[in-house]
Amino acid sequence: MRNFRAIVLAAVCAALLFPAAAAAKSAGDTAVGEGVRSASCVDGCPEISFSFSASSGPSGESPSGTFWADIPGSATFTADVTCLDVSGSQAIIAGVMTGGSGDEVEPGNPFVVVVKDGGKSTKGVAKDTMSRLGWGVLDVTVEEACADPAAIIGPDMFRLTSGDIAVTDVQP
pLDDT under 70: residue ranges of the chain: 1-26, 42
Given this model, what pLDDT does residue 125 score?
72
Residue 68: inside a domain:
yes
Q: Tell me if 21 is assigned to some domain.
A: no
Which residues face 96 on adjacent strands? Answer: 80, 110
Q: Which domain holds residue 85?
A: 27-168
pLDDT value of position 79:
98
Contact criterion met (CB below 8 Å) for 132 and 156 = yes
CA distances 93 to 68, 77, 155, Å, are 12, 15, 14
pLDDT above 70 coverage of the chain, percent: 84
Instruction: Assess if residue 77 is contained within a domain.
Output: yes
pLDDT of residue 21: 42
- Residue 9 inside a domain? The answer is no
User: Distance between CA atoms of 93 and 81, rounded to whole angstroms?
Assistant: 7
Q: Residues 6 or more apart from 64 whose CB is under 8 A from it?
A: 54, 55, 56, 80, 81
